[in-house]
Structure 1
Amino acid sequence: MSGRRREEQSDPLLTWMQTFQVSGPCTSYEDLTGGVAIAQVLNVIDPSWFNETWIMRIKPDTGDNWRMKVNNLKKILQSVLEYYQDVLGHPVSEDHIPDVTLIGEFSNTAELRKMVQLVLGCAISCDKKEEHIQQIMTLGESVQQAVMESIQELLSKEPSDAVTADTYVNYDSQSRKYYYISEDTDEKSDILQRCHDLEQQVSVLMEEKRSLMSENRALRDQQEEEGMDSPQMFNKKMLLLQSQIEQLQEENYRLESARDDYRQRCQELDREVQDLQQRNQDLTGLAHEAQSLRDEMDVLRHSSDRVGKLESLVESYKKKLEDLGDLRRQVKLLEERNTVYMQRTCQLEDELHKAHASRGQLEGLSRQIQELHKKHSSESLRAEKWQFEFQTLKEKYEALQKEKEVSLGTAVQ
């Protein structure tokens, strides 16, 4: 438990507030910022003035909305000041008027003690003051002493610096927080214009309230000059003016709530714009990445086309190599035939030597030899021709093989 929490729990005024045992939270000064517990204590102190109808005007669920808290505290302070003036006949010194904005927005303990001190003054000055004083006497001696000092301090001020309910106007002293947002979208500009219009309406309502309060003071001054000749008429005008003031307060609260809603909507739109901008940046990055991937795919597709062409060229080379193998087989066959022819020629020459006896046979053999020689020459020429073609094809094959190796090396790079 923090030191501030322990100090609050030992505060005499807070200890006195806890003796009423109301349903509203009352364990710390922060619990009192919503005004619910204070209103319930006032209802116990004087249920005829702070009646159930008045209690119903206090919003029970304020949460963290400081404007709702301030609105509740305004109503409570207004009624307390009226109670001091009209019932107790003891106007409150200006030094004891709490700043409800500091209470509702910042949970200011000093201002809260002023509010509780006013409630204490109501308790020890109302019709049931003996009962409440007796209740104070049941507390510890130090608490009693501190409570009595607070009462003395509250009631000892001179009326020269007193503040009445009619002169209490706190709208101009309320802290107004403006949350400036970027005007990137038309919708936020419209909302800002709406907020400006609401501010103007609030100013008009505040001016009307000040005018009504001035009229109220004028009527009271007139009644005092006339010696209170018509109290009933004055009371009726007072009730009418009070009703009008309450309506204006409710309208002001409604407009402030609407303005807060618009501001919250502006903040949400601002966050949405930031999210969309971030998403746009992400999508832009993805688009650049996709474009780079498409460029890489184009390069790979071009490389794939070159590879396909090279594969077709290799296939053609393979076919040429197969054709070259056939040519080699044909050359080999011709060489074998040439060998056979050579053997046959040798045989014929041997027969020629053996055939000297027969000239006719020799001439025939000579013609046959000549024919064989011609045929051999022709076949030799063919063999040379095939050998030349084979050598040419071999050179082409080696050139194509080197070109293929160069192409494959370029494609790999």
Structure 2
Amino acid sequence: MDVTISELLELFLQSPLVTWVKTFGPLGSESEDRLGVYMELVDGVFLNKIMLQIDPRPTNQRVNKHVNNDIYLRVQNLTILVRSIKTYYQEVLQQLIVMNLPNVLMIGKDPLSGKSMDEIKKLLLLVLGCAVQCERKEEFIERIKQLDIETQAAIVAHIQEVGFTRCCFR
């Protein structure tokens, strides 16, 4: 049975990782449709803001705030995000990322595909890994604890999936 992009998008936006990301602030405006919310996530601006909360160290890279569906600007923002994540793991957490890094070109060129949604999921997993291991982890874990039990369990499973076993929920 073929799944439409609309159905994939709906499932993705209801996923525990997206629910968690929304604890950092509104994603899209209330009147915005699902596609608009997803594109805001894919454009990298929102995720870069989250990464800045996790790692406030100054960066010389400027995120393009107005992507307007420009492939180049989207790829640039996502590249900055991946570089920030990778640097944080290596320099602060002293850890090596063993999973394949998200394919920002695929996301940039064709964001509305199942494969791109899988790549965005990887990005969200890596950001989650940073959040639950950073200096402010108690604050970020507390946000997870405010979610419903089913979502919490799914997020814990994601944490275990990517090997962040030092994070604990009580």
TM-score between both structures, scaled by the size of structure 2: 0.79
Cα distance in 2 between the residues matched to 1:32 and 1:155: 24
Q: Work out which of the residue numbers 98, 104, 108 in structure 1 matches 2:102.
A: 98
> Which secondary structure state, in structure 2, belongs to the residue aligned with residue 61 of structure 1?
coil
- Look up the equivalent residue of 1:13 and give its one-letter code: L
* Equivalent in the alignment of 1:64: 69
Cα distance in 1 between the residues matched to 2:28 and 2:82: 19
Cα distance in 1 between the residues matched to 2:68 and 2:139: 34
* Equivalent in the alignment of 1:148: 156
Equivalent residues in 2 for 1:8-407 (5 A)? 8-21=12-25, 25=28, 28-47=37-56, 49=57, 51=58, 54=60, 57-95=62-100, 97-107=101-111, 108-155=116-163
Quick check: 1:98–1:112 contact (8 Å CA) kept in 2?
yes
- Look up the equivalent residue of 1:31 and give its one-letter code: E
Which one has a larger percent helix, Structure 1 or Structure 2?
A: 1
Quick check: 1:9–1:15 contact (8 Å CA) kept in 2?
yes
Shift in Å, 1:39: 0.6
- RMSD, matched Cα: 2.0
Quick check: 1:121–1:151 contact (8 Å CA) kept in 2?
yes
Unmatched tracts of structure 1, length 5 or more? 157-413
Quick check: 2:51–2:84 contact (8 Å CA) kept in 1?
no
> Which secondary structure state, in structure 2, belongs to the residue aligned with residue 155 of structure 1?
coil
Cα distance in 2 between the residues matched to 1:117 and 1:33: 14
> Which secondary structure state, in structure 2, belongs to the residue aligned with residue 91 of structure 1?
coil
Quick check: 1:124–1:132 contact (8 Å CA) kept in 2?
yes
Unmatched tracts of structure 2, length 5 or more? 1-5, 165-170
- Look up the equivalent residue of 1:29 and give its one-letter code: Y
Quick check: 1:39–1:76 contact (8 Å CA) kept in 2?
yes
Cα distance in 2 between the residues matched to 1:25 and 1:73: 18
Cα distance in 2 between the residues matched to 1:120 and 1:94: 14
- Look up the equivalent residue of 1:17 and give its one-letter code: V
Cα distance in 2 between the residues matched to 1:101 and 1:57: 19
Shift in Å, 1:8: 2.4
Shift in Å, 1:4: 3.0
Shift in Å, 1:46: 2.8
Cα distance in 2 between the residues matched to 1:134 and 1:25: 23
Cα distance in 1 between the residues matched to 2:143 and 2:78: 26
**Highest RCO, 1 vs 2 (Cα 8 Å, sep ≥ 6):** 2
> Which secondary structure state, in structure 2, belongs to the residue aligned with residue 25 of structure 1?
coil
- Look up the equivalent residue of 1:19 and give its one-letter code: T
Shift in Å, 1:94: 3.0
Quick check: 2:55–2:88 contact (8 Å CA) kept in 1?
no
Cα distance in 2 between the residues matched to 1:130 and 1:29: 28
Cα distance in 1 between the residues matched to 2:86 and 2:133: 13
Quick check: 1:25–1:37 contact (8 Å CA) kept in 2?
no
Quick check: 1:29–1:109 contact (8 Å CA) kept in 2?
no
Quick check: 2:13–2:19 contact (8 Å CA) kept in 1?
yes
